[in-house]
Amino acid sequence: MKQNAYARAGVDIELGNRVKATLPELLASTHRREVLGKVGGFGGLFQLDVKKYRQPVLVSSTDGVGTKLKLAFAMDKHDTIGEDLVNHCVDDIAVLGAEPLFFLDYIGTGKLKPHVFTQLIAGFARGCAANHCALIGGETAQMPGFYQPGEYDVSGTIVGVVEKARMLDGKGIRPGDAIIGLGSSGLHTNGYSLARKIFFEQMKLKPKSRLAGLAGSIGEELLKVHVSYGPLVQELLRKFNGKGPVVGQRTIKGLAHVTGGGFIDNLPRVLPAKCDAVIRKGTWDVLPIFQIIQERGGVDEAELYQVFNMGIGMTLFVAAEQAAAILKFIRARKMPAWEIGTVEKGTGISRVV
């Protein structure tokens, strides 16, 4: 059969259509009753049940996974990337108290590879299903000559909702409040440019290399899935904040997702102007991967806490008298957690001491 001109130019529409034909089956696990229409339209449809809220506020976020993609290319393992992206976006809106409603993805590549596409979508679907978030659409762009052979880029957009009176904005944070840290699985989706330089340029390792202290290869360690804290955050808010809209009476006062910028840049995003977050090293179990980076990387320790999460993926600012009860609640759900610092009078910065 004669190949058409567009396919000869590098864009195979028929291949794209065949691959996308598997989408309904892949996305079935993410369906919510509010979703209207079907995947493949010009726009995804979601009918928000406004009767559930007095003043619903939509919360949105968009992100990618950075150079973690380089590990996926090297390992030819792509399903965790989709899950990473969903979980990262869920965590970004969870800090405001929002529950996710729906997610859309974008995949850009030079030449569409069916097994890569299927793995990516399977990861998106797995992440969305775990977070009760509908995957209602996306875009797959074939752009020959734009990407290196075998490479692609992904991004995702999430939309969630929170009751306006229960939205978390950090305004109730006061000196004396406790800071609780929730354990990460590893680097999550940040710091990979530096980590790759340390492991693969300075230490001359390969993705399949093994290091003492790590359960698997360095590639497997670096591809560990970004933890979703969204469902746990919703449980915590129902248990400890209840339905009370009064800011000053909240037990959980603010959250910060420890992403790019580490402790130094992320915690101030929720701090009042006259409060500092003081994080105390040694109060949590630093994961072996970060210990290796610290020992072998030759990076100033202060910079490490501004690049990496160092084993803490999410922080909670809580009333000190309830910190022990909150920790017990979190640990009962098999999530590692520690009291890692306090709020002090200051100028709105975060310090690691």
The CATH number of whichever domain residue 269 belongs to comes to 3.90.650.10
> Which residue segment(s) compose the domain that 321 sits in?
178-352
Same domain, residue pair 160 and 197: no
Amino acid identity, residue 135?
L
d(CA 95, CA 258): 11
* 72 to 65, 120, 147: CA distances (angstroms): 11, 11, 15
Beta bridge pairs of residue 277? 343, 350
Greatest CA separation found in the chain?
74
CB atoms within 10 A of CB 264: 18
Same domain, residue pair 150 and 183: no
Same domain, residue pair 148 and 211: no
Count of structural domains within the chain: 2
pLDDT at 170: 93
Looking at residues 169-189, what average pLDDT do you find?
96
Above pLDDT 90, what percent of the chain? 76
Same domain, residue pair 148 and 223: no
In 3-state terms, what secondary structure has residue 28?
Answer: helix
d(CA 251, CA 1): 68
Strand ranges (DSSP E) for the chain? 35-36, 45-46, 56-63, 99-109, 134-142, 152-163, 178-183, 252-257, 275-279, 312-318, 337-345, 350-352
pTM value is 0.92
Mean model confidence pLDDT for the chain:
91
Same domain, residue pair 156 and 183: no
d(CA 55, CA 58): 10
- Comparing 117 with 340, the larger pLDDT belongs to 340
In a domain, 55, yes or no: yes
In a domain, 41, yes or no: yes
Same domain, residue pair 130 and 162: yes
Residue 319 · residue 178 · CB < 8 Å: yes
Same domain, residue pair 189 and 277: yes
In a domain, 136, yes or no: yes
In a domain, 173, yes or no: no
Q: Which of 166, 194, 227 is the last residue of a domain?
A: 166
Same domain, residue pair 204 and 327: yes
Which pLDDT tens digit goes with each residue over 242-290?
765 455 568 999 999 999 999 999 999 999 999 999 999 999 999 999 9
pLDDT at position 29 over 80: no
In 3-state terms, what secondary structure has residue 177?
Answer: coil
Which pLDDT tens digit goes with each residue over 197-243?
999 999 999 999 999 889 899 999 999 999 999 999 999 999 999 76
In a domain, 143, yes or no: yes
pLDDT at 15: 63
